[in-house]
Amino acid sequence: MAPFLSGISIVCFAASYAVALACEASRLVFRSGVRGAVMVTFAAAGLVAHTLFLGWRAVSSGTVPLSSPFDWYLLAAWLLAAGYLWLTIANPRTPVGLFLLPVVLALVGAASLASREPFLHDAASRFWGRIHGGFHLVWSVSVVLGAIAGLMWLIQAGRLARKQAPLQGFRMPSLERLAHVTARTPAIAAWAAAAGFVSGIVLNAVNRRRGLIETVPWTDPVVLRMAAVVAWLIVADWMTSTARRRPDGGRTTAWLALVSLAVMAGSILWGLFGSTQHGRPAAAAPAMRVEATP
């Protein structure tokens, strides 16, 4: 069993998700009676391989998900892939994969570029690190779901405004349901991001007290970047709450959700290619050398 599990790679489940995405895209070209079964089969196979990969990594490397940037991106992709599979089975005529699967593949790609080094190893740092990573996972997934709902709202509203008939086998959710999602996710994202930022500050303070002064300096770009992201999400939540009272509130909240996704994508790219100490293994401060007095 161990050789089989160790042989699973990112390519295995990424390829399965890519085939499922191709099947989703083929809805726009032709009708098929077996496409749904093929699509679900490949998505399920990818999710199983994805799950086994994360489980084997947790067991074999002595780490758990969220212990490195690599694991964090893969776990976020896993949650979205699981959501896609569930939504596809529950609503087979809704093309949710056209919106979710590209994000899943993008996160898998980000994982392949991210560091695999675990953040920290002591008990206090693991505790705060998991809280920090968990909140970041919540706000990121919330932003993605809100943006997908917003994009679907804009597409659906545009088709209705032009009085276009729905495509065969290609049904979008109602505007009311999509507006409900775009109105609720900004609050979840804003407060989860704020909690993640505060827990990160606590984690950094714990590490500095222990002498791990090389973890994340307070002037590190990732600290400023995340502060800006939190500020935007709080503002976006306030703007969403205000816009809901206006006649054009649905369109405004949809665009705000898409802007939040763009802000998150910029933050991820900055974290992958920018200069930062975040996500690198910490080193203890060098001990002071004391010379004996003759």
Q: What is the SS3 assignment for 170?
A: strand
Dmax (CA) of the chain: 94
Q: Where are the domains of the chain?
A: 1-118, 119-276
Per run of 10 residues, the mean pLDDT along the chain (length 294 residues) is 60 91 84 83 92 81 63 87 88 83 91 74 59 81 91 86 68 82 89 83 66 56 82 91 82 92 86 59 41 34
Please give the pLDDT value at position 53: 87
> Which of 112, 11, 124, 8 lies closest to 69 in space, CA to CA?
112
Neighbours of 96 (CB within 10 A): 21
Q: What is the pLDDT of residue 162?
A: 78
Give this prediction's pTM: 0.73
pLDDT at 291: 37
